[in-house]
Structure 1
Amino acid sequence: MKSKFLIIVLIVISISCSGKVFNSVSCVENKDFKKEWNKNIEFLDNYYAMRENISVYEEAIGNYSITEISEENDRYFSSLEFVSKYVTINYPYKTSFSGSIPYRIYFEEKENWNKWYKKNKCSDIQLK
């Protein structure tokens, strides 16, 4: 009787372990999407980090040409556009006076974006 019980327990453990292995392998993450997602989020992080300290920001702006500032703004909006193709941006940055998301709100938004990414990363997200 004990041997039958032991065999049943071993079978149940074996099945539950094989299910865990199968589930961890079933994640199909699109590497190209992940690379592009991380590149855009990293740019936005750096964009806001530099602006956090206004004196550092003003010094950096002094070192930029008008063309570089324009390119940075274009990249900023491009990164927000990329993110907005996949997840809703709650702040209406397109219609705001400055056209940018306030620093404090950016971090709230980013938290939502990260939650979305973690939830969806295994569904082979395609670049749009």
Structure 2
Amino acid sequence: MKNLIYFIFILLFGCASKQSSKCIENLKFKDEFFKNISIVENLTYGTGDGNLRESLNFLSKYVPVSYGKLLNYKFGYDSETFKWDKTTWLKWYEENKCSNIQFK
């Protein structure tokens, strides 16, 4: 009985480790995705430069962007809307990173 438990444990551990090795993450996409999030974040908090509109357009191809809540007079985010969107974007990436995400 004890040997059976060890066998099941080894079998389950082996299957779990094989499944985790099937993750195919597109590192070029990852770099571009997080670069654009960083641009939006830096512009939202006024600490960087870049093109907010271009970064949001890139992100919107993959994740929802709260365009309706952007501050119209300066085309920027308020910090609460950005935090909400960023959380959504990061969650989406974690859920999809192993599917070899391709550029659109």
Q: What TM-score comes out, normalization by structure 1 length? A: 0.71
Structure number with the bigger relative contact order (C-alpha 8 A, sep ≥ 6) is: 1
Shift of 1:87: 0.8
Unaligned runs of 5+ residues in structure 2 are none
Counterpart check, 1:13 vs 2:5: no
| Rg larger for | 1
Aligned to 2:35: 39
Sequence identity of aligned pairs in percent?
30
The residue type paired with residue 66 of structure 2 is N
Task: Mark the CA change 1:108 to 1:94 in structure 2 (over 3 Å): closer, same or farther.
Answer: closer
RMSD between aligned alpha carbons?
A: 2.3
Unaligned runs of 5+ residues in structure 1 are 52-59, 61-68
The residue type paired with residue 14 of structure 1 is I
Kindly indicate whether the alpha-carbon contact (under 8 Å) linking 2:26 and 2:101 is maintained by their aligned counterparts in 1: yes
Task: Mark the CA change 1:49 to 1:94 in structure 2 (over 3 Å): closer, same or farther.
Answer: closer
What's the secondary structure of 2:101's corresponding residue? coil
Shift of 1:95: 9.3
Q: What TM-score comes out, normalization by structure 2 length? A: 0.85
The residue type paired with residue 18 of structure 2 is F
* In structure 1, distance between residues paired with 2:27 and 2:18: 20
Aligned to 2:59: 83
Counterpart check, 1:101 vs 2:77: yes
